[in-house]
Amino acid sequence: MDGNTEYGRKKFKRSRSHFADRITADGKESGWPVEAGRYRLVVSRACPWASRVLISRRLLGLEDALSLAVTDPIQDDRSWRFTLDPGDRDPVLGIRFLHEAYDARETDYPGGVSVPAIVDVPTGKLVTNDYQQITLDLATEWTALHREGAPDLYPEALRGEIDEVMDGVYREVNNGVYRAGFATTQEEYEGAYADVFHRLDLLTERLAGQRYLVGDTITEADIRLFTTLVRFDAVYHGHFKCNREKLAENPVLWAYVRDLYQTPGFGDTVDFDHIKRHYYAVHTGINPTSIVPAGPDLSGWTEPHGRESLGGRPFGDGTPPGPVPEDERVPEGHRPVP
């Protein structure tokens, strides 16, 4: 499944990443040095954890340095599939299923096959599936390959505050919606539900008077919150029963997430078709019919948000990313456009 998850009759638990190697600037400790063209990023556009990396890669301008493979949003018991590519095979790695890269790294690996995943192209081996660390390393270890004008997504002077904010967002929002959605008892569900909206209330208060979560520019904290919020009304409100209110009914968070969606590097990575088809078709324990809802109406995502009045500089001293590469554009009809 997406991220690293354990489902079943026992209490929902998100597993720690089994393959937590780091790709670092010199590679001395990890054995994996930053090197343009050496690695391939494998994502599902449906997965919020993988979407973090898609956004970071776009904002930092790493498209040419770190190639991209996008899987089918519907995986089967053989793992994530490359059925969107000719011949149902990734054209660079030459594999049909992501598990093949995991098997190349560790024979008979017993855990789940998750995205995001970074694969070493020369050997075909998985390097890392550490969704918590990958984006931090893109921001701090891959700097030699950043585009000119790339923003500082993890500024050193603000890291303590960013980490604190991200911790609460992870526990009660990013992971909280999953805890609610996969709860197997009423008590477990209600506890997770309360956590989700407790944190969303705190975030509402925080964002009522400032444009971004930490400082006056976009940081890693905003990326991590965005990927859950952008899925909220489409899947988490109904499918995961986080239904106290829709995001569109919260004026502050709705304006905040639209502001980010309309910022280059965010909305142009979002594929609502993949998101809905994955959650409603794969999670048959929650939705046994696999019927994908026709709604919600997506037209509001492109409406004015008014957050400019709070000030802030989206890219700090940098500039917006360039156009999306032609072969990475979200298909027409999969997201609203102005």
d(Cα 40, Cα 93) in Å, to the nearest integer? 8
SS3 readout for the chain: CCCCEECCCCCCEECCCCCECCCECCCCCCCCECCCCCEEEEECCCCHHHHHHHHHHHHHCCCCCCEEEECCCCCECCECECCCCHHHCCCCCCCCECHHHHHHHCCCCCCCCCCCEEEECCCCEEEECCCCCHHHHHHHCCHHHCCCCCCCCCCHHHHHHHHHHHHHHHHHHHCHHHHHHCCCCHHHHHHHHHHHHHHHHHHHHHHCCCCCCCCCCCCHHHHHHHHHHHHHHHHHCCCCCCCCCCHHHCHHHHHHHHHHHCCCCCHHHCCHHHHHHHHHHHCCCCCCCCCCCCCCCCHHHHCCCCHHHHCCCCCCCCCCCCCCCHHHCCCCCCCCCC
Which is catalytic among the residues 39, 47, 189, 242? 47
> Nearest CA to 178 among 109, 239, 227, 90?
239
Residue of 39, 102, 154, 178 marked active site: 178
Amino acid at 303: E
- Catalytic residue check, 47: yes
Is 242 noted as a catalytic residue in this protein?
no
Residues with catalytic annotation? 47, 178
